[in-house]
Structure 1
Amino acid sequence: MSPRMKAEDRRKSAVAAALTEFARGGYEGTSTEAIAQRVGVSQPYLFRLFPNKRAMFLAAALRCAELTRDAFVAAAKDLPPDADVEAVKEALGAAYLELIGDGELVMMQMQMQVATYQATLAGDLEFGETVRRGWTDLVDTVRLLFSGDDEATGEFMSEGMLINVLTALNYPSDDRIWRCVVQ
Protein backbone atom coordinates (compact mmCIF):
# COMPACT_ATOMS: atom_id res chain seq x y z
CA MET A 1 0.00 0.00 0.00
CA SER A 2 1.32 3.43 -0.90
CA PRO A 3 2.73 5.43 2.03
CA ARG A 4 0.99 8.49 0.57
CA MET A 5 -2.45 6.94 0.93
CA LYS A 6 -4.61 8.95 3.30
CA ALA A 7 -5.82 7.34 6.52
CA GLU A 8 -9.44 7.50 5.32
CA ASP A 9 -8.52 5.64 2.15
CA ARG A 10 -6.66 3.02 4.18
CA ARG A 11 -9.68 2.75 6.44
CA LYS A 12 -11.91 2.10 3.42
CA SER A 13 -9.46 -0.54 2.21
CA ALA A 14 -9.46 -2.09 5.67
CA VAL A 15 -13.27 -2.21 5.74
CA ALA A 16 -13.32 -3.92 2.33
CA ALA A 17 -10.71 -6.42 3.51
CA ALA A 18 -12.59 -7.00 6.76
CA LEU A 19 -15.80 -7.64 4.83
CA THR A 20 -14.06 -10.29 2.74
CA GLU A 21 -12.33 -11.95 5.68
CA PHE A 22 -15.36 -11.91 7.98
CA ALA A 23 -17.58 -13.22 5.17
CA ARG A 24 -15.25 -16.18 4.81
CA GLY A 25 -14.40 -16.88 8.43
CA GLY A 26 -17.07 -15.30 10.58
CA TYR A 27 -16.41 -13.09 13.56
CA GLU A 28 -14.77 -15.72 15.74
CA GLY A 29 -12.85 -17.40 12.92
CA THR A 30 -11.26 -14.27 11.46
CA SER A 31 -8.01 -12.90 12.79
CA THR A 32 -7.11 -9.26 12.65
CA GLU A 33 -3.76 -10.40 11.27
CA ALA A 34 -5.56 -11.83 8.21
CA ILE A 35 -7.32 -8.50 7.70
CA ALA A 36 -4.06 -6.57 8.07
CA GLN A 37 -2.35 -8.86 5.54
CA ARG A 38 -5.19 -8.44 3.04
CA VAL A 39 -4.94 -4.64 3.37
CA GLY A 40 -1.15 -4.68 3.26
CA VAL A 41 -0.60 -2.96 6.57
CA SER A 42 0.77 -4.05 9.92
CA GLN A 43 -1.59 -5.24 12.61
CA PRO A 44 -0.60 -2.31 14.88
CA TYR A 45 -1.48 0.11 12.06
CA LEU A 46 -4.83 -1.63 11.63
CA PHE A 47 -5.50 -0.92 15.30
CA ARG A 48 -4.81 2.76 14.70
CA LEU A 49 -7.67 2.70 12.19
CA PHE A 50 -10.02 0.69 14.43
CA PRO A 51 -9.95 0.33 18.20
CA ASN A 52 -10.65 -3.42 18.10
CA LYS A 53 -11.88 -6.39 16.08
CA ARG A 54 -15.48 -5.65 17.06
CA ALA A 55 -15.27 -2.18 15.48
CA MET A 56 -13.81 -3.73 12.32
CA PHE A 57 -16.67 -6.21 12.09
CA LEU A 58 -19.31 -3.56 12.66
CA ALA A 59 -17.76 -1.29 10.01
CA ALA A 60 -17.79 -4.23 7.56
CA ALA A 61 -21.41 -5.06 8.46
CA LEU A 62 -22.55 -1.49 7.84
CA ARG A 63 -20.62 -1.45 4.57
CA CYS A 64 -22.34 -4.65 3.48
CA ALA A 65 -25.77 -3.08 4.03
CA GLU A 66 -24.60 0.13 2.36
CA LEU A 67 -23.39 -1.70 -0.76
CA THR A 68 -26.74 -3.42 -1.07
CA ARG A 69 -28.67 -0.21 -0.53
CA ASP A 70 -26.54 1.64 -3.07
CA ALA A 71 -27.10 -1.10 -5.67
CA PHE A 72 -30.86 -0.79 -5.20
CA VAL A 73 -30.81 2.99 -5.46
CA ALA A 74 -28.69 2.82 -8.63
CA ALA A 75 -31.05 0.26 -10.18
CA ALA A 76 -34.11 2.38 -9.41
CA LYS A 77 -32.49 5.52 -10.81
CA ASP A 78 -33.02 4.26 -14.35
CA LEU A 79 -36.74 3.57 -13.83
CA PRO A 80 -39.40 6.01 -14.98
CA PRO A 81 -41.07 7.94 -12.14
CA ASP A 82 -44.36 6.10 -12.72
CA ALA A 83 -42.82 2.59 -12.72
CA ASP A 84 -45.14 -0.02 -11.26
CA VAL A 85 -44.26 -2.38 -8.42
CA GLU A 86 -43.29 -5.21 -10.78
CA ALA A 87 -40.86 -2.99 -12.69
CA VAL A 88 -39.24 -1.85 -9.44
CA LYS A 89 -39.06 -5.43 -8.18
CA GLU A 90 -37.48 -6.61 -11.42
CA ALA A 91 -34.86 -3.83 -11.47
CA LEU A 92 -33.91 -4.23 -7.81
CA GLY A 93 -33.94 -8.01 -8.05
CA ALA A 94 -31.61 -8.00 -11.05
CA ALA A 95 -29.27 -5.59 -9.26
CA TYR A 96 -29.24 -7.83 -6.19
CA LEU A 97 -28.51 -11.00 -8.14
CA GLU A 98 -25.60 -9.24 -9.82
CA LEU A 99 -24.34 -7.86 -6.51
CA ILE A 100 -24.30 -11.24 -4.79
CA GLY A 101 -22.88 -13.11 -7.77
CA ASP A 102 -19.66 -14.08 -6.00
CA GLY A 103 -21.44 -14.96 -2.74
CA GLU A 104 -19.32 -12.69 -0.56
CA LEU A 105 -22.07 -10.27 0.47
CA VAL A 106 -24.50 -13.11 1.14
CA MET A 107 -21.98 -14.80 3.39
CA MET A 108 -21.30 -11.51 5.18
CA GLN A 109 -25.03 -11.11 5.77
CA MET A 110 -25.14 -14.60 7.25
CA GLN A 111 -22.12 -13.81 9.44
CA MET A 112 -23.83 -10.61 10.60
CA GLN A 113 -26.82 -12.64 11.76
CA VAL A 114 -24.68 -15.19 13.61
CA ALA A 115 -22.44 -12.58 15.23
CA THR A 116 -25.41 -10.47 16.30
CA TYR A 117 -27.10 -13.48 17.86
CA GLN A 118 -23.93 -14.47 19.70
CA ALA A 119 -23.24 -10.92 20.88
CA THR A 120 -26.79 -10.61 22.18
CA LEU A 121 -26.43 -13.88 24.10
CA ALA A 122 -23.23 -12.48 25.60
CA GLY A 123 -25.08 -9.31 26.67
CA ASP A 124 -23.63 -6.98 24.03
CA LEU A 125 -26.86 -5.32 22.93
CA GLU A 126 -25.11 -2.40 21.24
CA PHE A 127 -23.58 -4.79 18.69
CA GLY A 128 -27.02 -5.86 17.48
CA GLU A 129 -28.31 -2.29 17.50
CA THR A 130 -25.49 -1.26 15.16
CA VAL A 131 -26.08 -4.14 12.74
CA ARG A 132 -29.84 -3.56 12.82
CA ARG A 133 -29.30 0.14 12.07
CA GLY A 134 -27.68 -0.82 8.76
CA TRP A 135 -30.45 -3.31 8.01
CA THR A 136 -33.17 -0.80 8.92
CA ASP A 137 -31.64 1.78 6.60
CA LEU A 138 -31.64 -0.80 3.82
CA VAL A 139 -35.28 -1.77 4.37
CA ASP A 140 -36.35 1.87 4.65
CA THR A 141 -34.62 2.62 1.35
CA VAL A 142 -36.34 -0.32 -0.36
CA ARG A 143 -39.66 0.88 1.05
CA LEU A 144 -39.08 4.32 -0.48
CA LEU A 145 -38.18 2.74 -3.81
CA PHE A 146 -41.52 0.91 -3.66
CA SER A 147 -43.27 4.25 -3.02
CA GLY A 148 -44.01 3.37 0.60
CA ASP A 149 -45.73 0.09 -0.26
CA ASP A 150 -45.18 -2.06 2.84
CA GLU A 151 -46.54 -5.21 1.21
CA ALA A 152 -44.25 -4.93 -1.82
CA THR A 153 -41.32 -4.14 0.46
CA GLY A 154 -42.01 -7.17 2.62
CA GLU A 155 -42.39 -9.47 -0.36
CA PHE A 156 -39.21 -8.19 -1.97
CA MET A 157 -37.15 -8.49 1.21
CA SER A 158 -38.58 -11.96 1.92
CA GLU A 159 -37.68 -13.16 -1.54
CA GLY A 160 -34.22 -11.69 -1.06
CA MET A 161 -33.76 -13.67 2.13
CA LEU A 162 -34.79 -16.86 0.31
CA ILE A 163 -32.27 -16.01 -2.40
CA ASN A 164 -29.64 -15.62 0.33
CA VAL A 165 -30.45 -19.07 1.69
CA LEU A 166 -30.32 -20.67 -1.77
CA THR A 167 -27.00 -18.94 -2.44
CA ALA A 168 -25.54 -19.91 0.93
CA LEU A 169 -26.65 -23.52 0.40
CA ASN A 170 -25.02 -23.38 -3.03
CA TYR A 171 -28.09 -24.46 -4.97
CA PRO A 172 -27.27 -24.60 -8.69
CA SER A 173 -28.91 -21.71 -10.53
CA ASP A 174 -30.83 -24.13 -12.75
CA ASP A 175 -32.32 -26.03 -9.81
CA ARG A 176 -36.11 -26.07 -9.67
CA ILE A 177 -36.01 -24.44 -6.20
CA TRP A 178 -34.82 -21.18 -7.78
CA ARG A 179 -38.00 -21.01 -9.84
CA CYS A 180 -39.93 -20.47 -6.61
CA VAL A 181 -38.20 -17.11 -6.30
CA VAL A 182 -36.76 -15.95 -9.59
CA GLN A 183 -39.37 -15.86 -12.32
Structure 2
Amino acid sequence: MVRMSAEERRESVIRAALSEFAHGGYEGTSTEAIARRVGVSQPYLFRLFPNKQAIFLAASQRCIDTTRRLFAEAAEGVPAEERLHAMGNAYQRMIHEDPEKLLMQMQTYVAVAAAEASGDRAFGEAIRASWMQLWDTVQVELSADADETTTFLAYGMLINTLVSLGFPADHRVWEGFYESSRPE
Protein backbone atom coordinates (compact mmCIF):
# COMPACT_ATOMS: atom_id res chain seq x y z
CA MET A 1 0.00 0.00 0.00
CA VAL A 2 1.41 3.37 -1.05
CA ARG A 3 1.05 6.14 1.49
CA MET A 4 -0.04 9.58 0.36
CA SER A 5 2.04 12.60 1.17
CA ALA A 6 0.48 15.36 3.25
CA GLU A 7 0.13 17.45 0.07
CA GLU A 8 -1.66 14.60 -1.74
CA ARG A 9 -3.91 14.10 1.28
CA ARG A 10 -4.59 17.85 1.39
CA GLU A 11 -5.59 17.69 -2.27
CA SER A 12 -7.94 14.79 -1.49
CA VAL A 13 -9.50 16.82 1.30
CA ILE A 14 -10.11 19.79 -1.02
CA ARG A 15 -11.80 17.57 -3.63
CA ALA A 16 -13.93 15.83 -1.00
CA ALA A 17 -14.80 19.14 0.67
CA LEU A 18 -15.85 20.65 -2.64
CA SER A 19 -18.29 17.80 -3.14
CA GLU A 20 -19.59 17.77 0.45
CA PHE A 21 -19.96 21.56 0.71
CA ALA A 22 -21.55 21.77 -2.75
CA HIS A 23 -24.41 19.62 -1.51
CA GLY A 24 -24.62 20.58 2.15
CA GLY A 25 -23.39 24.16 2.26
CA TYR A 26 -21.07 25.50 4.92
CA GLU A 27 -23.43 25.08 7.86
CA GLY A 28 -24.88 21.75 6.72
CA THR A 29 -21.57 19.97 6.15
CA SER A 30 -19.59 18.40 8.96
CA THR A 31 -15.85 18.01 8.94
CA GLU A 32 -16.57 14.46 10.01
CA ALA A 33 -18.28 13.80 6.64
CA ILE A 34 -15.29 15.23 4.79
CA ALA A 35 -12.82 13.14 6.81
CA ARG A 36 -14.92 10.02 6.23
CA ARG A 37 -15.02 10.65 2.45
CA VAL A 38 -11.23 11.02 2.36
CA GLY A 39 -10.64 8.09 4.69
CA VAL A 40 -8.82 10.00 7.41
CA SER A 41 -9.58 10.82 11.01
CA GLN A 42 -11.01 14.19 11.93
CA PRO A 43 -7.89 15.06 13.99
CA TYR A 44 -5.74 14.36 10.91
CA LEU A 45 -7.99 16.66 8.87
CA PHE A 46 -7.19 19.43 11.35
CA ARG A 47 -3.47 18.80 10.95
CA LEU A 48 -3.92 19.68 7.27
CA PHE A 49 -6.27 22.64 7.81
CA PRO A 50 -6.65 24.75 10.95
CA ASN A 51 -10.46 24.73 10.93
CA LYS A 52 -13.64 24.13 8.94
CA GLN A 53 -13.60 27.63 7.45
CA ALA A 54 -10.10 27.05 6.05
CA ILE A 55 -11.30 23.85 4.39
CA PHE A 56 -14.30 25.66 2.91
CA LEU A 57 -12.10 28.52 1.75
CA ALA A 58 -9.71 26.11 -0.01
CA ALA A 59 -12.65 24.36 -1.74
CA SER A 60 -14.20 27.70 -2.74
CA GLN A 61 -10.95 29.06 -4.09
CA ARG A 62 -10.39 25.82 -6.02
CA CYS A 63 -13.84 26.15 -7.57
CA ILE A 64 -13.25 29.76 -8.64
CA ASP A 65 -9.76 28.97 -9.91
CA THR A 66 -11.07 26.03 -11.94
CA THR A 67 -13.54 28.36 -13.64
CA ARG A 68 -10.81 30.95 -14.23
CA ARG A 69 -8.54 28.35 -15.84
CA LEU A 70 -11.46 27.02 -17.89
CA PHE A 71 -12.00 30.47 -19.40
CA ALA A 72 -8.30 30.98 -20.10
CA GLU A 73 -7.96 27.57 -21.75
CA ALA A 74 -11.14 28.04 -23.81
CA ALA A 75 -9.82 31.34 -25.17
CA GLU A 76 -6.32 30.04 -25.89
CA GLY A 77 -5.55 30.14 -29.61
CA VAL A 78 -9.07 31.29 -30.49
CA PRO A 79 -9.49 34.47 -32.59
CA ALA A 80 -10.55 37.41 -30.40
CA GLU A 81 -13.99 37.71 -32.01
CA GLU A 82 -14.78 34.05 -31.18
CA ARG A 83 -13.53 33.98 -27.59
CA LEU A 84 -16.78 35.05 -25.95
CA HIS A 85 -18.61 32.09 -27.46
CA ALA A 86 -15.74 29.69 -26.76
CA MET A 87 -15.62 30.74 -23.11
CA GLY A 88 -19.41 30.69 -22.74
CA ASN A 89 -19.65 27.24 -24.34
CA ALA A 90 -16.87 25.90 -22.12
CA TYR A 91 -18.69 27.19 -19.03
CA GLN A 92 -21.98 25.65 -20.10
CA ARG A 93 -20.24 22.31 -20.70
CA MET A 94 -18.63 22.50 -17.26
CA ILE A 95 -21.88 23.06 -15.40
CA HIS A 96 -23.57 20.34 -17.44
CA GLU A 97 -20.75 17.80 -16.95
CA ASP A 98 -19.79 18.76 -13.38
CA PRO A 99 -22.79 20.35 -11.64
CA GLU A 100 -21.02 20.22 -8.27
CA LYS A 101 -18.87 23.16 -9.37
CA LEU A 102 -22.00 25.22 -9.97
CA LEU A 103 -23.44 24.16 -6.61
CA MET A 104 -20.15 25.05 -4.89
CA GLN A 105 -20.14 28.49 -6.51
CA MET A 106 -23.62 29.17 -5.20
CA GLN A 107 -22.72 27.82 -1.72
CA THR A 108 -19.67 30.10 -1.71
CA TYR A 109 -21.78 33.20 -2.31
CA VAL A 110 -24.18 32.18 0.47
CA ALA A 111 -21.32 31.51 2.89
CA VAL A 112 -19.68 34.87 2.18
CA ALA A 113 -22.98 36.69 2.68
CA ALA A 114 -23.57 34.87 5.98
CA ALA A 115 -20.02 35.56 7.19
CA GLU A 116 -20.33 39.25 6.28
CA ALA A 117 -23.68 39.47 8.09
CA SER A 118 -22.05 38.12 11.24
CA GLY A 119 -19.16 40.58 10.98
CA ASP A 120 -16.53 38.25 9.50
CA ARG A 121 -15.03 40.28 6.64
CA ALA A 122 -11.78 38.28 6.35
CA PHE A 123 -13.45 35.26 4.75
CA GLY A 124 -15.16 37.44 2.14
CA GLU A 125 -11.91 39.28 1.41
CA ALA A 126 -10.18 36.02 0.50
CA ILE A 127 -13.05 34.97 -1.79
CA ARG A 128 -13.23 38.43 -3.37
CA ALA A 129 -9.50 38.26 -4.15
CA SER A 130 -10.01 34.93 -5.95
CA TRP A 131 -13.05 36.27 -7.75
CA MET A 132 -11.11 39.32 -8.93
CA GLN A 133 -8.59 36.98 -10.55
CA LEU A 134 -11.55 35.44 -12.40
CA TRP A 135 -12.74 38.92 -13.42
CA ASP A 136 -9.27 39.87 -14.64
CA THR A 137 -8.95 36.66 -16.66
CA VAL A 138 -12.29 37.27 -18.37
CA GLN A 139 -11.38 40.88 -19.10
CA VAL A 140 -7.96 39.98 -20.53
CA GLU A 141 -9.12 36.96 -22.54
CA LEU A 142 -12.02 38.88 -24.07
CA SER A 143 -9.90 42.02 -24.55
CA ALA A 144 -12.94 43.59 -22.98
CA ASP A 145 -13.74 46.78 -21.14
CA ALA A 146 -15.54 46.81 -17.80
CA ASP A 147 -19.00 46.85 -19.42
CA GLU A 148 -18.28 43.83 -21.62
CA THR A 149 -16.74 41.93 -18.73
CA THR A 150 -19.75 42.74 -16.56
CA THR A 151 -22.15 41.57 -19.27
CA PHE A 152 -20.28 38.27 -19.74
CA LEU A 153 -20.23 37.55 -16.01
CA ALA A 154 -23.84 38.71 -15.57
CA TYR A 155 -24.96 36.19 -18.17
CA GLY A 156 -22.96 33.56 -16.32
CA MET A 157 -24.70 34.39 -13.05
CA LEU A 158 -28.08 34.25 -14.76
CA ILE A 159 -27.15 30.83 -16.13
CA ASN A 160 -26.14 29.77 -12.59
CA THR A 161 -29.48 30.93 -11.23
CA LEU A 162 -31.59 29.26 -13.93
CA VAL A 163 -29.69 25.97 -13.68
CA SER A 164 -29.84 26.06 -9.87
CA LEU A 165 -33.59 26.61 -10.05
CA GLY A 166 -33.91 23.59 -12.33
CA PHE A 167 -35.26 25.22 -15.49
CA PRO A 168 -35.01 22.63 -18.29
CA ALA A 169 -33.06 23.54 -21.45
CA ASP A 170 -36.24 23.88 -23.53
CA HIS A 171 -37.97 26.29 -21.10
CA ARG A 172 -38.83 29.74 -22.46
CA VAL A 173 -36.53 31.47 -19.91
CA TRP A 174 -33.58 30.27 -22.01
CA GLU A 175 -34.84 31.85 -25.27
CA GLY A 176 -32.78 35.02 -24.89
CA PHE A 177 -29.58 32.99 -24.77
CA TYR A 178 -30.22 31.50 -28.18
CA GLU A 179 -31.47 34.66 -29.91
CA SER A 180 -28.17 35.52 -31.61
CA SER A 181 -27.55 31.96 -32.79
CA ARG A 182 -30.94 31.42 -34.44
CA PRO A 183 -31.09 31.43 -38.23
CA GLU A 184 -32.98 34.36 -39.75
Q: Fold-level match, TM-score > 0.5? A: yes
Q: Which residue in the other structure is 1:167 paired with?
A: 163
Tell me, what secondary structure is at the counterpart of 2:93? helix
Question: Is residue 24 from structure 1 mapped to residue 17 from structure 2 by the alignment?
Answer: no
1:36-115 alignment, distance < 5 Å:
36-80=35-79, 83-84=80-81, 87-101=82-96, 102-115=98-111
CA distance in 2: counterparts of 1:27 and 1:181, whole angstroms: 32
- Cα offsets for 1:127-174 (capped at 9, x unmatched): 110111111110111000111422221111000000000110011111
State the superposition RMSD in angstroms. Answer: 1.3
| 2:49 counterpart letter in structure 1 | F
**Going by fraction, where is helix more abundant, 1 or 2?**
2
Percent of pairs with identical residues: 53
State the 4+ residue runs in structure 1 displaced beyond 6 angstroms: none
> How many residues were matched structurally?
178
| 2:19 counterpart letter in structure 1 | T
Within the candidate set 129, 133, 137, 1:133 is matched to 129
Structure 1 residues without counterparts, runs of 5 or longer:
none
Q: Which residue in the other structure is 1:123 paired with?
A: 119
- Cα offsets for 1:95-137 (capped at 9, x unmatched): 1011111321111111111111111111111011011111111
Structure 2 residues without counterparts, runs of 5 or longer:
none
Per the normalisation by structure 2, the TM-score is 0.92
| 1:115 counterpart letter in structure 2 | A
1:59: Cα distance to partner?
0.5
Per the normalisation by structure 1, the TM-score is 0.93
CA distance in 1: counterparts of 2:177 and 2:7, whole angstroms: 40
